[in-house]
Amino acid sequence: MEKTTLGGGCFWCLDALFRDLQGVESVLCGYSGGNVDDPSYKSVCSGRTGHAEVVQITFNPEIISFKSLLEIFLSVHDPTTLNRQGADVGTQYRSIILYHSEEQKKVSESVISEFTQQQVWSDPIVTQIVPFVKFFEAEEYHQNYFNKNPNQGYCQVVINPKLIKFRKTYSNLLK
């Protein structure tokens, strides 16, 4: 098993999408990339801790590659907006790859270069690629949020449309 830590806006969206993929063993919502130990959701939302909302994915690379996870990641959120995803604004919503090895760093740089050359996005990709240091698991109510709260407003308006598009686009990779 390997781990990757990715941030692309609200962690509820990425959590809902990645847990559907074959080869993904677990997805945890949390905080990483900041300068405060054991941050809370409230402190991260203040924008003062330096953390991003992230998901930490444990996956089997024999079933799904790190490269495939990154290609999906860069296609399911807008990696061209600095510190923003839709209505979510602040450094905690930045696009970020926290690599766990030099190989992950190289693959991250390569995939972003490929997306740039192929002009997948019309604007430049601003996703940070930084070394993983620490991960702080988010409060329990954030874990698997969409499946626990499918009728909640944010889930219906923001997550569900992304999930429908994701499942259609990546149907061959779903559990």
Of 39, 16, 36, 38, nearest to 27 (Cα)? 16
pLDDT at 86 over 90: no
Q: What is the mean pLDDT of residues 123-133?
A: 97
Report domain extents, the chain: 2-173
Global pTM reads 0.96
**E-only strand ranges, the chain:** 2-8, 24-32, 52-59, 84-85, 88-89, 95-99, 128-131, 135-137
- Which positions are annotated as active-site residues? 10
Encode pLDDT of 20-69 as tens digits.
999 999 999 999 999 999 999 999 999 999 999 999 999 999 999 999 99
Average pLDDT, the chain: 96
pLDDT band per the 50, 70, 90 thresholds, residue 87: confident
Residue 132 three-state SS: coil
Kindly indicate whether the domain formed by 2-173 is annotated with CATH number 3.50.50.100.
no
Half-sphere exposure of 122 (CA within 13 A, CB side): 0
